[in-house]
Amino acid sequence: MFKNIIDYTRNLWGFKKKPDIKKPRVITRDEHGIDRRQVSREALRTCENLQAAGFEAYVVGGAVRDLLLGVTPKDFDVVTNATPEQIKRCQRRAIIIGRRFRLVHVMFGREIIECSTFRALSHEGVQKDRAGRVVDDNVFGEMWEDAARRDFTINALYYDPSTQEVIDYHNGMQDIENRVVRMIGDPYDRYREDPVRMLRAVRIASKLHFDVDEATLAPIAKQAHLLGNVPEARLFDEAMKLLTCGEACLCMEKLRQLHLDRNVLPLLDVALKEPNGEKFLNHAMKRTDERIGMGKKVSPSFLFATLLWPLTHRQFEERLARGEGQMMAMIEAARSVLKKQGERLAIQNRYVEDIQTIWLLQLKLLRRSSKAALGLLNIPKFRAGYDFMLLRSQLGFVDAEIVDWWTKFQEVGEEARLEMIRLEAEKNQQARKSRRGEPKKPSKAQIKKQLMKEADSWQEVRDIENFVDHEFDEDVPFALIETKPADKPKRRRRSSWKGRRRVARQAQEGSNQ
């Protein structure tokens, strides 16, 4: 009774009840086993600068999770109780970015450390749209509130470089040991706040080979449509993380199972239905994972050129069948596919140009009999185009002889390259000469004319016209037309002005005599 009276009085006078703060688990160096030398020097220096100014500073998120699993982190994030303006004053080179939630990028040459302020748990000041997605969240709070605002328990771990302790508010250490991805809070509400968390759950589970908690997994199928409300630039960034996490094949498979691929890569289903489309994409994703596993980089333009190639190639062949030239057919097919994909996923213009270059090189690399082949080596995306052709040849879509020729062409010197081009030109010339000796395939008009000569009545004429125009297959009655012999020399035509000039000269000579 007295407790209720006290609560009523506090509410009446505007005093808020202090929430029950769960005491975190502090994990010592001997328990977690993280070696401080594995942490980025830039992240350590960022924390040291903030702590020297009297602020708290921790390495947080996926970097701590990866260090606990013995995986080398791709990047390091720092969190602190300093505001963005205070962070900037503590660092030598730093810029404030972001609109939805302000961050600070601390720059050390090419290395960038993302530094954020503790976020508040209170919803006062947080702006959401009609779908429930957070669009403005620049409300700062305490460390325990920031932990509650994190997406998954395994990402809510804080590493203090000065004490080498890990602070765990939500049993993230236990979930890492159990290899489980678990959402902090109600998954239904957390997905509404930020639908990209559904893609993160798929990526983290695939990358680490973890299981997704049932409560975390259940709402995804029903809330997949929320991704339609996410800005295209954010979707592009997340799609790149999915494709470059080292488990692209598994990510694509899980995205399709949960029906999330339609909102990220709407043309993926169409590409998989193309002839050999699934075979090509699976092989490409495996090669990408192998390359990333060896520590090599993969360009975004190459990845999207691979994903969208089956559909582009089909449109290219359709345009060729309509009589368009090869280059123009490829350009128009590329524009059509990239425009449709860009309606949902904002591929940056510089990547769009590179994708088109890679596809056009698939035609240009077939031409090896002129000095233009030397110029192809100077194209910035030549190596990507060559790798793409190599990928296609491994599945039998391109003659291996062409790929071997370009492999050798890159390795030899200038004189050897010119000799290779000369030999290829001679080879093509001989092939053209041999084709000239073959009888030409008769056209419909020629066959109709030949059959008309043998017709004896108007009924036969009508039957011949109907047969040739509607039911005739040009590949069958090849012998119906008498073709000219190949070795018959062509009669030279002389210019009329030369003949008149010769006649005039002879007449002049006759008159002089």
Does 300-436 carry CATH code 3.40.1360.10? Answer: no
The pLDDT tens digits of the residues spanning 51-71 come to 999 999 999 989 999 999 988
Query: Which among 239, 469, 489 has a CA at the least distance from the CA of 344?
Result: 239
Does 22-178 carry CATH code 3.30.460.10? Answer: yes
Q: How far apart are CA 146 and CA 137, in angstroms?
A: 12
Q: How far apart are CA 343 and CA 233, in angstroms?
A: 11
Q: How far apart are CA 148 and CA 121, in angstroms?
A: 7
Taking CA 179 as the corner, what is the angle to CA 177 and CA 183, rounded to the nearest 5 degrees? Answer: 110
Q: What is the pLDDT of residue 2?
A: 44
pLDDT of 4 higher than 50: no
Q: What is the pLDDT of residue 212?
A: 92
Token pair listed for 19: 């929430």
Helix (H, G, I), strand (E, B) or coil at 348: coil
Taking residues 390-397, report their average pLDDT: 86
Burial class (CB in 10 A: 0-12, 13-18, 19+), 320: middle
Token pair listed for 50: 């903030």
Taking residues 428-437, report their average pLDDT: 72
* Percent of residues, the chain, with pLDDT higher than 90: 31
Token pair listed for 79: 């969190």
* Percent of residues, the chain, with pLDDT higher than 70: 74
Q: Which contacts qualify for 203-207: CB closer than 8 Å, 24 or more apart?
A: 203/238, 203/241, 203/242, 203/245, 203/251, 204/62, 204/152, 204/154, 205/181, 205/254, 206/245, 206/247, 206/250, 206/251, 206/254, 207/245, 207/246, 207/247, 207/251
From 66, 77, 213, 261, the catalytic residue: 77
178-182, 303-307, 387-391: the lowest-pLDDT one:
303-307
Q: What is the pLDDT of residue 474?
A: 46
The pLDDT tens digits of the residues spanning 193-216 come to 888 999 999 999 999 999 999 999
Q: What is the pLDDT of residue 3?
A: 45
pLDDT greater at residue 236 or residue 438: 236
130-134, 280-284, 344-348, 475-479: the lowest-pLDDT one:
475-479
Name the band, by pLDDT with cuts 50, 70 and 90, for residue 118. very high
* Range list for CATH 1.10.3090.10 in the chain: 300-436
Token pair listed for 343: 């309606």
Which segments of 34-171 does DSSP mark as H helices, in order? 41-52, 62-69, 84-90, 143-149
pLDDT of 502 higher than 50: yes
The pLDDT tens digits of the residues spanning 249-297 come to 888 888 888 888 777 776 666 666 676 777 888 888 888 888 888 877 8
From 151, 213, 261, 354, the catalytic residue: 151
Name the band, by pLDDT with cuts 50, 70 and 90, for residue 483. very low
Query: Which among 33, 22, 39 has a CA at the least distance from the CA of 177?
Result: 33
Taking residues 159-174, report their average pLDDT: 93
Please give the mean pLDDT across all residues of the chain: 80
Task: Show the 3-state SS of 66-103.
Answer: HHHHCCCCCCCEEEECCCHHHHHHHCCCEEEECCCCCE
Name the band, by pLDDT with cuts 50, 70 and 90, for residue 486. very low
Token pair listed for 256: 């399709």
151 is catalytic: yes
Taking residues 111-115, report their average pLDDT: 92
136 is catalytic: no
Q: How far apart are CA 345 and CA 333, in angstroms?
A: 18
* Range list for CATH 3.30.460.10 in the chain: 22-178
Task: Show the 3-state SS of 267-318.
Answer: CHHHHHHCCCHHHHHHHHHHHHHHHHHCCCCCCHHHHHHHHHHHHHHHHHHH
Taking CA 302 as the corner, what is the angle to CA 296 and CA 307, rounded to the nearest 5 degrees? Answer: 120
Taking residues 149-173, report their average pLDDT: 93
Taking the whole predicted model, whether its pTM rises above 0.75 is answered as: no
Residue 426: which residues within 8 A CB-CB, separation 6 or more?
A: none
pLDDT greater at residue 138 or residue 432: 432
When mean pLDDT is compared over 19-28, 224-233, 307-316, 482-491, the highest value belongs to 307-316
Q: Which residues pair with 96 in a beta bridge?
A: 104
pLDDT greater at residue 73 or residue 18: 73
475 is catalytic: no
The pLDDT tens digits of the residues spanning 468-482 come to 655 544 444 444 444
